[in-house]
Structure 1
Amino acid sequence: MKNSSRVHAALFFVALIYAANYSLSKDVMPRYLGPFGIVTLRIVGALLFFSLVSRLVAPQDKIIGRADNLRALACGICGIGVNQLLFFSGLNLTSPISASLLQTIAPIVVVIASAVLLKEKITWPRVAGIVLGMFGAALLILSRNVQAASYPQATLGNIYILLNATVFGLYLVLVQPLMRKYHAFTVLARVFLVGAVIAVPFGWREVLAADYARFPLYIWLEIGYMVVFLTILAYLLNNWALKYASPALLGVYIYLQPVLAVLIAVALGRDHLTWGKAGQALLIFGGVWLVSRKPKVAALLAAPRATVPD
């Protein structure tokens, strides 16, 4: 298999893993395990895995220097601890389709954070994209539909998901310099350690309170899916693919994830796609498309260096 085909396969598999989680998580929480309990199991499981593997593949690699250690601390807070607590709290309260659509706001946050932290220029099309995407997100958050009875706290859940996408977008900007300087397993072991310090105090009671003897087999399988596939495998595939994928290619898979999530949620009867949500999705997708576009001059200069065809 050519390298470009492997990158496409990795990105598609990651999109599918995330898309399925929106519906599968609904089976587990809150009936069998609370959202904070799920987060604790995910983060602790990933921490053990990445810590062990980092010692095997990069035993001499250490994050050094005050600046890099502070950056790793911020990454663990934004990308693991706060990010996961907000995501599962929000998903517990809102519908799978709403949550998956709001997640696509992350690229808009990346552009804003890059402008503030990295002094990158924001063009007028990107400003329009930010406004359009945020308007679509606001409509989605504040909308009330036929599922209001099923999700009476959907507005609060949507706000949590939007905040989750915001801190994750900030994480993507903060972690990039660390990934370029250190081994990926070294960075992931550190950020998951920080995330565990944040998440465990919130979730340990839910982990201990769960009646594991009454868990059906499919619930165990879904929890295993969230720990192994959603956390460990998705992070590994994402970090590998990001080394080769062009920004345009990543944009395609950003759009694919909510599409897959909608198809899975509707197929499993977890959610319904309405015309209102479709219109809000178009606004958000339009905003993400505008902010993901590069200026023509920059695109021409970057084209020869692209390692993967779009």
Structure 2
Amino acid sequence: MNSNIFKAHIALLGANLIYGANYIIAKGIMPDKINPNAFVLIRLVCCVALFWGIKFIFVKEKVAREDFLRLALCGLLGAAANMLFFFHGINLTSPIDASIIMTATPVIVLIFSFIILKERITKKKLIGITIAGIGAIFLIIYGNKAAGTSSFLGNLFVFLNASCYGLYLVLVKTLKKKYNAITIISWMFLFGLLFVFPIAINDFRAVNFDAFSTNTYLVIGYVVLFTTFFAYLFNVYALNFVSPSVTSSYIYLQPVISFILVSVYAYILMKDEYAQDINLIKILSCLMVVIGVYIISKPPKKLA
């Protein structure tokens, strides 16, 4: 393994460690310190500033007028709806449930690719979709009966988040062939901010910033700088040296990290509300989703 590929794998590991920790870290300050809508607005404002700063300095690239509609749609799905559904979902449900449901994103991408791009679905991929789909849907429904911090509505919101993000990944494919990734993400976050602003501005005004502790600011900083900014740059860097299938396979790490952190919160930090978040049903649901996504992602055997 050459040094660039090794660094790419380190970047992917770092990105998915960040994502895996985000489920429980972001949940920690909602809704007591901040409303999910206000949290999303803060995140988008900061991300627009960060990515447009990079674009102005390093990426001198103009966008054709005919592509703005698609960029706006990407902003609606990949930033606004995606973030709103995720933050409202994680506010209501277990970090473990959310991380398991999110691993179904490659399945959703495959389904939308079939519907929109007319990409063929093989029998093997259909089996993978079925297995992963059963695991994810069962977990969503089980959230209504599970003990701990699970929630049917929260699980449904996370699934809608994954669906919006999966549709965004399909729609953005043509743009990726024409523009630098920084250009796309800069415009996507800007349009996302425009969509979220009228929804979230009243919630933002209602935030009591005087009640924020150091921990609150650290959590917001983590979500903005690490989960959005650095994790995205790590993924972009990795894609220069490894295939998209390798990049997507690292999503399997996220439930593992979530399981570990919830266990730490429940049994070391004695956070009783998380004590019942880990059970056999969730582990089996996780395995079904992972197996299904593995079947879908596994490349076909080359003929000799």
DSSP-derived class of the 1:173 partner: helix
Structure 2 residue aligned with 1:234: 231
Within the alignment, does 1:40 sit opposite 2:41 as a pair?
yes
Q: Is residue 235–residue 247 contact of structure 2 (8 Å, CA) maintained in 1?
A: no
1:282 pairs with one of 279, 287, 291: 287
Contact 1:22 1:265 in 2 (8 A): no
Q: 1:252 aligns with which of 249, 272, 287?
A: 249
Deviates more, 1:39-48 or 1:287-296: 287-296
Query: Where does the alignment leave 5 or more consecutive residues of structure 2 unmatched?
Result: none
| Paired amino acid for 2:192 | G
TM-score where L is the length of structure 2: 0.92
* Matching residue of 1:243: 240
User: What amino acid is the match of 2:63?
Assistant: I
Which ranges of 4 or more aligned residues in structure 1 deviate by more than 4 Å?
A: none
1:137 aligns with 2:132: no
Indicate the residue corresponding to 1:64 in structure 2.
64
For 1:94-113, list aligned pairs within 5 A.
94-113=93-112
Identity %: 37
Deviation digits for residues 135-192 of structure 1 (CA, Å, limit 9, x no counterpart):
1111101112222xx45xx101111111111111111122233223212221111101
2:21 maps to 20
Give the alignment of 1:130-279 within 5 angstroms: 130-143=129-142, 144-147=145-148, 150-151=149-150, 154-269=151-266, 271=274, 272-279=277-284
Give distance in 1, aligned partners of 2:234 and 2:177.
Answer: 16
Q: Which moved more, 1:249-258 or 1:7-16?
A: 249-258
Cα distance in 1 for residues equivalent to 2:27 and 2:114: 36
Aligned partner letter, 1:76: G
Q: Name the structure 2 match of 1:124.
A: 123
Between the aligned partners of 2:39 and 2:288, the Cα distance in structure 1 is: 32
SS at 1:296's partner residue?
A: coil
Report deviation, 1:70: 2.2
Structure 1 contact 23–96 (Cα < 8 Å) conserved: yes
How far, CA to CA, are the matches of 2:249 and 2:11 in structure 1? 13
**Residue-by-residue CA offset, 1:35-78 (whole Å, 9 max, x unaligned):** 1111111111001111122111123x111041x22221221111
- Give 1:250 deviation, angstroms: 2.4
Letter of the 2:101 counterpart:
L
Letter of the structure 2 residue corresponding to residue 112 of structure 1: I
Give the length in aligned residue pairs. Answer: 293
CA contact (8 A) 1:105 1:166 kept: no
Tell me if 1:296 matches 2:295. Answer: no
Change (3 A) 1:171 1:162: same
| Deviating more after overlay: 3-12 vs 171-180 | 171-180
Corresponding residue for 1:304? none
Runs (5+) with no aligned partner, structure 1: 302-310
Return 102-111 or 47-56, whichever deviates more.
47-56
